[in-house]
C-alpha cells in the first residue's frame, strides 16, 4: 500500500516536472527561482508563472477533487460506475450558465459563477429530492439523475438554438478547459475546496460502516440519513465549485475510483485517499495530452475533450475486467401491474392517434392566435413529411426500445440511453468534421456504422460479464458523455454554421423530404413487422436463455439479429432527423403501465404511443414559438424527462416502485 502511494506520488511529481518543462525554454533551475519568488522579466517567465504553473495547479487540484467526489459517491451509492456528472450537476450548471449569459450578458464574472454554482446545486438537489435521502444506495438516484440530465439538457439546447450567437462562446466552457492567465481562478476555487479536508477526515469511518448497508449501519448506531445528507451536500458543493471554475470535465470522477479498486484499494479510507491521488495524476496526464495536441493542430483541444477520449477506452477496459461482486444493482421487471389492456383502451389509443394527426395537420398558430383551418396545398406539402417522419421515428424508437428492454431484460434499456443513438451522432458529427460536408447530406451508412459499433461494445460487455442492467445503463450513459464531449469540441470551433449543427443535434423534422419520410415510414413498418415475427423468441429470451435454448431457439443468432434490428432503427432515425431521445424508454414503459404485458401487445401499443408522442411534440414545436420552431426531439426529451420525474416522484409516494 505504501508502495502504491509512493509510486503514484512520484509519478505525479515526475509528470508535473515534464508538464512544466514542455513547450518552454526555461531551465528547471530558473523555474525553481521563479517559483521561490524571483520577479519575472522575460515573457516566457510570465508564461511559466501565470499560465503553466496555475494550469498545473488547477489540473492537480481539480483532478484530486474529482477523484475524491467520485470515490465518495460511488461508495455511498455502492455503485462502481457512477460518475458525479450523472447526478445532474453539469446539466444544471450548463443550463444556469446559458440562461444567465443570455439574460444578463454584462453580469460580472463573480456573480455569474455564483449563479452557475446555484444552478448546479439546484439540479443535484432536485435529483436527491426525487431519489429520496433514504435510498441513496440504490438505482433510484441514478435514474433520477438521468431524468434530470435529459430534461435540463433539452431545455438548454432549445435555448441555445434560439440564441445561438450568444451560446457560441460558451461551448469552450462546456468542453471543460483548464487554461489559466493568472492565479485568479485558483484563488477563487481553493478556499471553496477546504471542505474536502473535512471529507477526507470523517468520511472513511462512515463509509466503512455503510458497507453493512444502510440498515446495518443504523443498527450500529450511525444516524445514516443525516450523515449521508451532509456527505452528499459536501460532494455537491465541491462538484459545483469545480464545474464553475473549469467547466465540464468528464470521466476522471468515474475512472479514478475504479483504478483505485483495481490496484488493490480495499477499505473505505484507502479507496477514498488513493482515488483522490489518482484523480490528480489522471487529470494531469489528460491535460498534458490536451496541451500537446493543441500544439500539433491549428485548433484548441480543450482538456475535457482529452479526458473523454482517454477516459472512454479506459472505462470500457475497466468494465471488462471489473468484478461482478461489486455490482450490487439489480433491476427486475415490475410485476405489480393491475391494469388490463381492454378493447376500449385500444380504441382509445386509436382515437388519440387520429386526433393527434388531425391536430398536427389542422390546428396551428399563425403568430396572432391559435386556430383551426384548412391548410393550403403548400402547407399540406410541408406538414405531411414532417408528420409522417415523426410518426415513423416514433415507431422505430418505440420498437427498438421494447425489443432492447425485453432482450436484456431491463425495463430501463433505451437505445438512446445506451449510447446507440450517440454512436450514430458521433459518427455523423465526426465525418462532417473530417469531410466538411453538411450534416444533412451525410450517408445513413455512416450513422449505421456508428450505432453498430456502440451496440457491439455494449453487447460484448454484457456477454463477457453478464452485467446487471444497471451497469449496462451506466456504461451507456458514460459512452454518451464521451460523444457529448466530442460534440462540444466541434461546437467550440467557432464557425458560423454551428447553428445548423445544433438544429440537427436537436432532432428536427424541418429538413425532411417527402420521399425521405416515406422511406422511413416504410422502414418503420418493416421493423415493426420483423419485431412482431420475432415476438415469440423475445418472449422466450425474456424468460431465460436456457428455456429459449430448450425450446430449440438459436439463442445467440436470434439475439444478434434482434440487436441488429435495434441498431438499424436507431441509425435510420438518427440519419434521417438527428438523435431522438427518450421515446425508446418512454413508450414501452407507458405501454406496460397501460397493461400491455405480452410482447406483441407491448410492441404494438408502444409503437402507437411513440408515434403519437413524436407527432404531438413536432406539432407543438412548429407552433409554440411561431415563427421560430423547437425541434421535435428537444420537446420529446423535455416531455419525456418531465414524465419520468413525475413517475419517480409518484413511485416514491406510493411505494410501488416500477423498477
Q: Which residues bind other proteins (CB under 8 A)?
A: 40, 43, 46-47, 49-51, 105-107, 109, 161-165, 168-169, 172-173, 177, 179-182, 184, 294, 298-300, 364, 366-367, 376, 378-379, 381-382, 436, 438, 440-441, 492-497, 499-500, 502-503, 508, 510-511, 513, 625-629
Least separation in angstroms between residue 169's CB and other proteins is 4
Helix, strand, or coil (residue 284): helix
Is 162 or 337 the residue whose CB approaches other proteins more closely?
A: 162
Grid cell for residue 292: 500537446
Is 330 or 628 the residue whose CB approaches other proteins more closely?
A: 628
Least separation in angstroms between residue 438's CB and other proteins is 6
Least separation in angstroms between residue 106's CB and other proteins is 5
Is 370 or 626 the residue whose CB approaches other proteins more closely?
A: 626
Least separation in angstroms between residue 235's CB and other proteins is 27
| Residue 50 near residue 182, CB atoms below 8 Å | yes
Q: Which of these, 524, 560, 564, lies nearest to 390 by C-alpha position?
A: 524
Q: Based on DSSP, count helices (H) and strands (E) in the chain, helices before strands.
A: 29, 2
Least separation in angstroms between residue 299's CB and other proteins is 5
Least separation in angstroms between residue 496's CB and other proteins is 5
Is 102 or 649 the residue whose CB approaches other proteins more closely?
A: 102
Identify the H or E element spanning 371: strand 370-372
Grid cell for residue 26: 526555461
Is 27 or 628 the residue whose CB approaches other proteins more closely?
A: 628
Is 95 or 158 the residue whose CB approaches other proteins more closely?
A: 158
| Residue 601 near residue 482, CB atoms below 8 Å | no
Least separation in angstroms between residue 575's CB and other proteins is 14
| Residue 569 near residue 422, CB atoms below 8 Å | no
Grid cell for residue 115: 449563479
Least separation in angstroms between residue 439's CB and other proteins is 10
Place of cell 522579466: 41
Is 107 or 555 the residue whose CB approaches other proteins more closely?
A: 107
| Residue 44 near residue 24, CB atoms below 8 Å | yes
First to last CA, the chain: 40
Is 78 or 168 the residue whose CB approaches other proteins more closely?
A: 168
* Distance separating alpha carbons of residues 346 and 590, to the nearest angstrom: 13
Least separation in angstroms between residue 101's CB and other proteins is 9
Identify the H or E element spanning 365: strand 363-365
| Residue 578 near residue 633, CB atoms below 8 Å | yes
| Residue 177 near residue 303, CB atoms below 8 Å | yes
* Distance separating alpha carbons of residues 312 and 292, to the nearest angstrom: 19
Least separation in angstroms between residue 367's CB and other proteins is 7
Phi, psi (5° rounding) for residue 581?
-95, 155
CA dihedral of 258, 261, 265, 269, whole degrees rounded to 10: 50
* Distance separating alpha carbons of residues 6 and 289, to the nearest angstrom: 23
Beta carbons within 10 angstroms of residue 165's beta carbon: 10
Grid cell for residue 368: 396572432
Least separation in angstroms between residue 414's CB and other proteins is 27
| Residue 311 near residue 252, CB atoms below 8 Å | yes
Is 241 or 300 the residue whose CB approaches other proteins more closely?
A: 300
Place of cell 444567465: 100
Least separation in angstroms between residue 148's CB and other proteins is 26
Is 43 or 372 the residue whose CB approaches other proteins more closely?
A: 43
Q: Which residues of 452-490 are buried (b: 16+ CB within 10 A; e: fewer)?
A: bbbbebbbebbeebebbbbbbbbbbbbbbbbbbbbbbbb
CA 80 → CA 71, 257, 286, 318, distances in Å? Answer: 9, 8, 22, 10
Angle CA(653)–CA(657)–CA(659) in degrees, nearest 5?
A: 155
Cis upstream peptide for 634 (omega within 30°): no
Least separation in angstroms between residue 67's CB and other proteins is 24
Least separation in angstroms between residue 22's CB and other proteins is 14
CA 93 → CA 123, 164, 192, 223, 417, distances in Å? Answer: 8, 18, 17, 31, 21
Helix, strand, or coil (residue 414): coil
Is 98 or 585 the residue whose CB approaches other proteins more closely?
A: 98
Which residue intervals of 492-631 are DSSP H helices? Answer: 498-505, 514-533, 535-543, 545-550, 555-577, 583-593, 599-623
Is 39 or 654 the residue whose CB approaches other proteins more closely?
A: 39
Is 511 or 592 the residue whose CB approaches other proteins more closely?
A: 511
Is 133 or 183 the residue whose CB approaches other proteins more closely?
A: 183
Least separation in angstroms between residue 483's CB and other proteins is 21
| Residue 284 near residue 12, CB atoms below 8 Å | yes
Is 540 or 580 the residue whose CB approaches other proteins more closely?
A: 580
Grid cell for residue 532: 412482431
Amino acid at each position: 500500500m505504501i508502495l502504491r502511494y509512493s509510486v503514484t506520488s512520484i509519478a505525479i511529481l515526475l509528470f508535473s516536472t515534464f508538464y512544466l518543462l514542455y513547450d518552454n525554454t526555461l531551465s528547471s533551475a530558473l523555474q525553481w527561482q521563479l517559483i521561490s519568488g524571483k520577479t519575472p522579466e522575460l515573457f516566457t517567465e510570465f508564461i511559466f508563472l501565470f499560465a503553466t504553473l496555475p494550469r498545473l495547479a488547477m489540473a492537480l487540484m481539480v483532478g484530486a477533487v474529482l477523484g475524491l467526489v467520485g470515490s465518495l459517491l460511488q461508495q455511498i451509492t455502492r455503485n462502481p460506475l457512477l460518475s458525479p456528472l450523472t447526478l445532474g450537476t453539469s446539466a444544471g450548471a450548463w443550463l444556469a450558465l446559458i440562461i444567465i449569459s443570455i439574460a444578463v450578458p454584462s453580469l460580472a464574472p463573480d456573480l455569474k459563477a455564483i449563479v452557475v454554482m446555484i444552478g448546479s446545486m439546484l439540479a443535484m438537489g432536485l435529483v436527491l429530492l426525487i431519489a429520496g435521502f433514504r435510498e441513496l444506495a440504490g438505482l433510484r438516484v441514478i435514474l433520477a439523475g438521468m431524468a434530470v440530465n435529459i430534461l435540463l439538457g433539452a431545455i438548454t439546447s432549445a435555448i441555445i438554438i434560439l440564441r445561438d450567437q450568444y451560446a457560441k462562446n460558451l461551448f469552450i466552457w462546456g468542453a471543460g478547459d483548464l487554461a489559466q492567465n493568472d492565479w485568479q481562478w485558483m484563488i477563487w476555487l481553493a478556499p471553496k475546496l477546504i471542505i474536502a479536508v473535512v471529507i477526507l477526515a470523517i468520511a472513511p469511518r462512515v463509509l466503512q460502516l455503510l458497507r453493512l448497508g444502510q440498515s446495518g449501519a443504523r443498527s450500529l448506531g450511525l444516524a445514516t440519513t443525516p450523515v449521508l445528507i451532509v456527505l452528499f451536500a459536501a460532494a455537491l458543493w465541491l462538484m459545483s465549485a469545480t464545474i464553475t471554475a473549469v467547466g465540464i470535465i468528464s470521466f476522471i470522477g468515474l475512472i479514478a475510483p475504479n483504478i483505485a479498486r483495481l490496484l488493490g484499494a480495499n477499505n473505505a479510507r484507502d479507496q477514498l485517499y488513493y482515488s483522490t491521488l489518482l484523480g490528480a495524476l489522471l487529470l494531469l496526464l489528460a491535460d498534458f495530452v490536451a496541451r500537446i495536441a493543441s500544439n500539433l493542430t491549428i485548433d484548441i483541444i480543450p482538456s475535457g475533450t482529452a479526458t473523454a477520449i482517454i477516459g472512454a477506452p479506459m472505462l470500457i477496459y475497466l468494465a471488462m475486467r471489473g468484478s461482478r461482486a461489486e455490482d450490487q444493482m439489480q433491476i427486475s421487471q415490475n410485476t405489480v401491474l393491475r391494469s388490463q389492456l381492454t378493447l376500449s383502451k385500444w380504441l382509445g389509443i386509436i382515437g388519440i392517434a387520429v386526433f393527434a394527426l388531425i391536430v398536427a395537420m389542422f390546428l396551428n398558430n399563425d403568430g396572432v392566435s391559435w386556430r383551426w383551418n384548412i391548410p393550403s396545398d403548400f402547407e399540406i406539402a410541408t406538414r405531411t413529411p414532417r408528420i409522417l417522419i415523426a410518426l415513423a421515428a416514433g415507431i422505430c424508437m418505440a420498437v427498438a426500445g421494447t425489443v432492447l428492454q425485453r432482450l436484456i431484460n431491463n425495463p430501463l434499456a433505451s437505445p438512446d440511453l445506451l449510447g446507440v443513438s450517440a454512436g450514430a451522432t458521433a459518427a455523423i458529427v465526426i465525418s462532417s468534421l473530417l469531410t466538411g460536408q453538411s450534416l444533412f447530406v451525410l450517408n445513413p451508412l455512416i450513422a449505421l456504422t456508428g450505432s453498430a459499433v456502440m451496440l457491439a461494445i455494449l453487447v460484448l460487455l454484457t456477454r463477457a460479464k453478464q452485467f446487471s442492467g444497471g451497469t449496462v445503463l451506466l456504461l451507456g450513459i458514460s459512452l454518451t458523455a464521451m460523444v457529448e464531449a466530442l460534440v462540444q469540441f466541434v461546437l467550440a470551433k467557432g464557425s458560423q454554421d454551428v447553428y445548423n449543427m445544433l438544429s440537427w443535434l436537436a432532432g428536427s423534422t424541418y429538413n425532411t423530404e417527402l420521399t425521405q419520410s416515406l422511406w422511413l415510414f416504410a422502414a418503420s413498418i418493416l421493423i415493426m413487422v420483423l419485431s412482431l415475427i420475432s415476438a415469440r423468441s423475445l418472449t422466450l429470451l425474456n424468460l431465460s436463455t436456457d428455456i429459449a435454448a430448450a425450446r430449440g431457439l438459436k439463442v445467440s443468432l436470434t439475439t444478434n439479429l434482434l440487436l441488429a434490428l435495434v441498431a438499424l432503427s436507431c441509425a435510420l432515425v438518427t440519419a434521417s432527423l438527428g438523435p431522438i431521445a427518450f421515446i425508446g424508454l418512454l413508450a414501452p414503459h407507458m405501454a406496460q403501465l397501460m397493461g400491455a404485458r405480452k410482447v406483441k401487445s407491448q410492441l404494438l401499443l408502444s409503437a402507437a404511443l411513440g408515434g403519437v408522442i413524436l407527432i404531438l411534440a413536432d406539432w407543438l414545436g412548429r407552433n409554440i414559438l411561431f415563427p421560430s420552431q423547437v425541434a421535435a426531439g428537444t420537446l420529446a426529451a423535455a416531455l419525456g424527462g418531465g414524465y419520468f420525474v413525475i413517475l419517480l416522484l409518484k413511485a416514491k409516494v406510493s411505494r410501488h416502485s416500477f423498477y
